[in-house]
Amino acid sequence: MGLERRKVAMLLADKFQDEEATEPKQFLEKHGVTVEVVGLQKGEVTGKNGRARIRVDRTIDEVTPAEYDAVIIPGGSSPERLRINENVLRFVQLFWETGKPVAAICHGPQVLISAGLLAGRRLTSYIGIRDDVKLAGGEWVDEPVVRDGQLITSRVPQDLPKFNEAILEALKELDSREKWEIGPDTDPLEALRVAVSREKGAHDFYKAAAEQFDDERLRNKFEYLAAIEKGHWDDLTELYRRLSGGKEPELIVHENELGKQLVTPDLTPQQATELAIRAEELAYQFYRRAADLARNQKAKDLFLHLASEELEHKRLLSHDLAAEEGGRSFQMATYFDIPPGAEGLW
pLDDT of residue 287: 81
Contact 195, 286 (CB under 8 A): yes
Local confidence band at 245 (pLDDT 50, 70, 90 cut-offs): confident
pLDDT for residue 53 is more than 90: yes
Task: Give the span between the Cα atoms of 130 and 34, in whole angstroms.
Answer: 31
Same domain, 33 and 155: yes
- What does the pLDDT read at residue 268? 83
Whether 100 and 192 map to the same domain: the answer is no
* Judgement on whether residues 166 and 271 belong to the same structural domain of the protein: no
Do 145 and 275 share a domain, yes or no? no
Instruction: Supply the DSSP symbol for 247.
Output: P
Final residue of a structural domain among 150, 177, 204? 177
Residues 155 and 18 in one domain: yes
Pick from 54, 125, 116: which is nearest to 86 by CA?
Answer: 116
What average pLDDT does the segment 9-36 reach? Answer: 97
What whole-number distance in Å separates Cα of residue 333 and Cα of residue 317?
A: 9
Same domain for 122 and 100:
yes
pLDDT of the residue at 318: 77
Q: What is the pLDDT of residue 333?
A: 42
**Domain hosting residue 111, numbered range:** 3-177
How many structural domains is the chain composed of? 2
For residue 221, what is the domain's CATH number? 1.20.1260.10
Query: Which one has a higher pLDDT value, 302 or 87?
Result: 87
Confidence of residue 146 (pLDDT cuts 50, 70, 90): very high
Q: Are residues 155 and 223 in the same domain?
A: no
Return the pLDDT at 264.
83
Q: What is the pLDDT of residues 83-131, one digit of tens each?
A: 999 999 999 999 988 888 999 999 999 999 999 999 889 999 999 999 9
| Together in a domain, 269 and 135 | no
Residues 127 and 197 in one domain: no
Q: Which of 177, 202, 219 is the last residue in one of the domains?
A: 177
Residue 168: give its domain's CATH number.
Answer: 3.40.50.880
Mean pLDDT of the chain: 85
Q: Is the pTM of this model over 0.75?
A: no
Q: Percent of the chain beyond pLDDT 90?
A: 45
Q: Answer with the one of 177, 207, 232 that is the final residue of a domain.
A: 177
One-letter amino acid identity for 253?
V
Q: For residue 242, how many C-alpha atoms fall within 13 Å in the half-sphere facing its CB?
A: 9
Active site residues: 106-107
